[in-house]
Amino acid sequence: MLGIYVCIFFISNVSGIPQSPVATAKSSQEAFEFVAKAESELHEAGKKATQIEWAYATNITDENEKKKLENTKVLDALSLKLGREAKQYDMNTITDQDLKRKLESLSQIGTSILEQEDLDKYNKITTEMEKIYSKAKVPDFKDKSKMLSLDPDITLILAESRDPEELEYYWTHWREVTGKEIKNRNYYKQYVDLTNKAARMNGFRDGTESQIHAYESKTFVQEMAETWSGLKPLYEQLHAFVRQRLHEKYGNAVVDPEGPIPAHLLGNMWAQSWNNIADMLKPYPEKPSIEVNEEMKKRGWTPKVMFDKADDFFQSIGFEPMT
């Protein structure tokens, strides 16, 4: 299924097919026609898949899981069909770069290339991991008879609580009922093995190489290493500043002034966003923040106006109007 989503994303982010193809060879003309048809099929499949995925994500039932798995088979079959067709075109005869990129994207079949037994196993594993992740509940820190979900309950607590014991409790227990469960069932290892197998079937060394290929750069790893090297000095200073503020708040027993920052204190289950603890980190707390609410009220901005503004933006970059 990964392959088709890559195709949908990639093709929707490449400029449209020229009305008059640059290449005049028959194979190129056929390629333009093939890509146009493929884009249309992927567009419709993507819309349907989004609705089914949303229904499952917001209401995890056996019925919605069945629909999701059935539609995944349809997506896999489409990805495999289009991928095999894309591989038939001779890239050496095609001079239009947009066309060449689209064919290259379509030819990357992803996990859809797996044999049916492995493909069914892969889709079942990913669905089960998603189910474990989404349905996990943790006993309330104070009232163990009450069970809390990640969203919105635990997410809100991690954002607002300043009790380090409570924060560590939720951070740890949520992982006990998700990560440990996935590990005990050996799901993730199987997922990695099947991902690597699919990558090799697609001509890559492993799953990592297949993912890097999408960035269209032979020096991607080196570029990222150089980017990190440039950012690291700034990040180390930022990290030290945040650690010091947390040390001032919680003390030595919780935050080592020279060690790593305990992840559960950063306001987010994955420590990936620190804005929820901005009240403790703001360098100049006496300085006012930019506040646009009053100006929006003066201009009569309602939720509907905000919605329409967002819709206008997405239409301006090629998306369809919202329903």
**pLDDT tens, position by position, 289-309:** 788 889 999 999 999 999 999
Evaluate if residue 5 carries a pLDDT over 60. no
What is the predicted pLDDT for the residue at 193?
A: 96
pLDDT at 10: 40
Secondary structure element (H or E) that encloses residue 148, with its range = strand 147-149
Buried b / exposed e across 274-296, counting CB within 10 Å, b at 16+?
beebeebbeeeeeeeeeeeeeee
pLDDT of residue 228: 97
Report, as an integer, the average pLDDT of 197-206: 93
pTM, 2 dp: 0.73
Q: What proportion of the chain, given as a percentage, has pLDDT over 90?
A: 65
Tell me, what DSSP letter sits at residue 154?
Answer: I
Q: Average the pLDDT over 37-62 and give the result.
A: 92
* Confidence check: pLDDT of 98 > 60: yes
Least-confidence region, from 88-97, 158-167, 300-309, 313-322: 88-97
Residues 6+ apart with CB under 8 A from 87: 107
Residue pair 226/257 in contact (Cβ under 8 Å)? The answer is: no
Interval 219-229: pLDDT, tens:
999 999 999 99
Greater pLDDT, 116 or 28? 116
Per the rule left: phi > 0, alpha: psi between -120 and 50, beta: everything else, 282 is beta
What pLDDT does residue 267 have?
A: 96
Higher pLDDT, 231 or 11: 231
Q: For 227-280, how does the pLDDT look when each residue is reduced to its tens digit (9 = 90+)?
A: 999 999 999 999 999 999 999 999 999 999 999 999 999 999 999 999 999 989
86 Cβ contact partners less than 8 Å away, ≥ 6 residues apart: 34, 38, 103, 104, 106, 107
Q: Could you give the C-alpha distances from 12 to 38, 272, 319, in angstroms and in order?
A: 12, 28, 9
Residues 80-95, mean pLDDT to the nearest whole number = 88
Q: Compute the mean pLDDT over every residue in the chain, rounded to the nearest whole number.
A: 88
Please tell me the distance from the alpha carbon of residue 169 to that of residue 123, in angstroms, as a whole number.
32
Q: What is the pLDDT of residue 291?
A: 83
Q: Taking the C-alpha atoms of 82, 83, 85 and 91 in order, what is their torsion angle to the nearest 10 degrees?
A: 130
Amino acid 59: pLDDT:
87
On the question of pLDDT at 20 being above 70, the answer is no
Indicate if the pLDDT at residue 4 is higher than 80. no
